Amino acid sequence: MKKAVAAEPVKKAAAAKSVKKKAAAAKPVKSVTKTAAAKSAKSVTKAAAAKSAKSVTKTAAAKSAKSVTKAAAEPESRTALVRRARRINRELAEVYPYAHPELDFENPFQLLVATVLSAQTTDLRVNQTTPALFAKYPTPEDLAAANPEEVEELIRPTGFFRAKTKSIMGLAAALRDEFGGEVPGRLEDLVKLPGVGRKTAFVVMGNAFGRPGITVDTHFGRLVRRWKWTQETDPDKVEKAVGELFPKSDWTMLSHRVIFHGRRICHARKPACGACPIAPLCPAYGEGETDPEKAKKLLKYEKGGFPGQRLKPPQSYLDAGGIPAPPLGAAAPPATGE
């Protein structure tokens, strides 16, 4: 009997020990199960989020494509085009309140000669070249009587110097012989002069005589086609098409603003779309760099903190932070940033 009683506690202790072992073994299993469940839930959540993001992206792309298709299917009306074009002009007027002709000149004769010399070169190079030319030949009479070889040497930096010498000496002789040494202010008279076309004539009329005119240079033609104001490529047709969108009183300043924008922001090869103030109005947005920081590095002239093209720019340009260009052979001032 005593043996049976003694064995009883031993059995109970063994049973308790067994229960503890089972409990200990069950805990890790339960913990592992919870971890697996959490991981599984997390995985499901990620998959769901990815699927949702993919779905949103697809929806956005579909909406964008639908919008583009709709825009293509519904061409801009004439009224909408006129409104958009005039709004662009107003926006540019705020961006470039100091827009001006970028050729240095003190009188109509100097502007006429400088404009002829600007063909196939930059206004900067012309501005660096003309001071010596005008110092030696200040009047049409002086230039008409010059030695062609001396004139060629003076204007050599502008390129095509032989053909340009012939043109500027020819127009100087015509001014002397037919107009009493004065530059005429009428389109029909200006285009009769050697080397003078409608573009040159409008530059002179608008900036020397205050008569409205549209200057269709490479920048102007390129931008108005990007903006879908016209698809014409012939300068005379571009001039007519754009002229019909604006009142005559806007023509001269419109030309300056568009050309300024083309030189500073809306470049031919790499337009700075991300830094463009009229991006929301531009059908060609996205052709260039759209990242704002990268686009900012593409800005030129005063927009990028660099010198402009005129050695003697208007005071309004200087007041707006513009930097004068250096004379021929001088080092350019360092960039100052915006």
What is the b/e burial string over 5-30, where b = at least 16 CB atoms within 10 angstroms of the residue's CB? eeeeeeeeeeeeeeeeeeeeeeeeee
The answer on pLDDT for 47 being more than 70 is no
Annotated active-site residue 199? The verdict is: yes
- pLDDT, tens digit, for every residue of 232-248? 999 999 999 999 999 99
The answer on pLDDT for 130 being more than 50 is yes
Number of CB atoms found within 10 A of residue 251's CB: 20
pTM, to two decimals = 0.77
- pLDDT, tens digit, for every residue of 194-213? 999 999 999 999 999 999 99
Average per-residue pLDDT in the chain? 85
Residue type, 216: V
Euclidean distance between CA atoms 256 and 93, whole angstroms: 10
Residue 69: its pLDDT value, please?
38
Residue 46: its pLDDT value, please?
52
The answer on pLDDT for 44 being more than 50 is no
Annotated active-site residue 104? The verdict is: no
Question: Rounded to an integer, what is the distance from CA 5 to the centroid of its chain?
Answer: 103
- pLDDT, tens digit, for every residue of 273-303? 999 999 999 999 999 999 999 999 999 999 9
Residue 184: its pLDDT value, please?
97
User: Quick one: average pLDDT of 175-204?
Assistant: 96
Residue 74: its pLDDT value, please?
75
Catalytic residue among 123, 199, 250, 303: 199
Catalytic residue among 166, 189, 217, 296: 217
Q: Which residue has the higher pLDDT, 185 or 21?
A: 185
The answer on pLDDT for 52 being more than 60 is no
